[in-house]
Amino acid sequence: MRKFVILCLTVILIGSNLAPAMADEAGTRIKDIAKLQGVRSNQLVGYGLVVGLAGTGDSNKITFTIQSIVSMLKTFGVTVSSSQMQFKNVAAVMVTAQLPPFVKPGDTIDVTVSSMGDAKSLEGGTLIQTPLKAANGAVYAVGQGPLSIGGFSVSSGGSSQQKNFPTVGSIPGGAIVEKDVP
C-alpha cells in the first residue's frame, strides 16, 4: 500500500511539472482560432454640411452644396433662392464612422469628416446633424459637432505652406448610436 501511495504521488508530481510545459507547446487558445458569428465592426457613411468656416468653404461653382443648403433651410421653414446666396462659410462633406461590435444606443463613436467640394479648409467648422447609414440603408448613428483638423494651409506673398490635410477632420465621440445592429 505504501508503494502504491508513493507511486501515485510521484505520478502527480511529474504530471504537475509537465502540464505547464505541455500547455506552452500547444499554445493554441480558443480565442485564437474561433470567432463569434456576427461579431464585427460595421461601416457607416453619411452626407452632411459643415458650417462656420471663415471663408474657406465651397465656392458657388459647387452646385450640390448650394442645393443642400437650400434643402436644409426649407426643413426649418426658411425659403431662399439659390441665386441670392453666397456660401463661402459652408462645405459639403462625407462623414464616415466605424460602428464597433457590442455598441448600444446612446453610446458615442468617433467620426471622420471629408470635404467633397472645393473647400480650402474645414478649420473652425461644425458638422450639422448628419444621419449615418449602414450598407443596408438603415440609420444607426447621428453625427454632429465641432471639427478638429490635423492640418493647416497658409499662404502669403505668393508662397504657401500646407501640412497634412486641412479638408479632413475628426469629431471624437461625435456621433450618437441610435439603434442596435441586428
* Domain extent for 9: 2-33
Is 113 domain-assigned?
A: yes
* 87-116 average pLDDT score: 95
In this model, does residue 153 exceed pLDDT 70? no
What is the reported pLDDT for 156? Answer: 65
- Whether residue 127 sits in one domain with residue 94: yes
Q: What gap in Å lies between CA 55 and CA 123, rounded to an integer?
A: 10
Q: Do 29 and 115 fall within a single domain?
A: no
Q: Are 48 and 143 in contact (CB under 8 A)?
A: yes
The pLDDT confidence band at residue 81, using thresholds 50, 70 and 90, is: confident
Mean pLDDT (whole number) for 94-123: 95
Structure-model confidence comparison of residues 158 and 126, the more confident one: 126
Q: Which pTM was predicted? A: 0.73
Residues 6+ apart with CB under 8 A from 77: none
Q: Is the dihedral of CA 143, 149, 155, 161 positive or negative?
A: negative
Number of domains in the chain: 2
Residue 117: inside a domain = yes
Are 26 and 102 within one domain? no
Q: Which whole number is the average pLDDT over 29-56?
A: 85
Is 91 a domain residue? yes
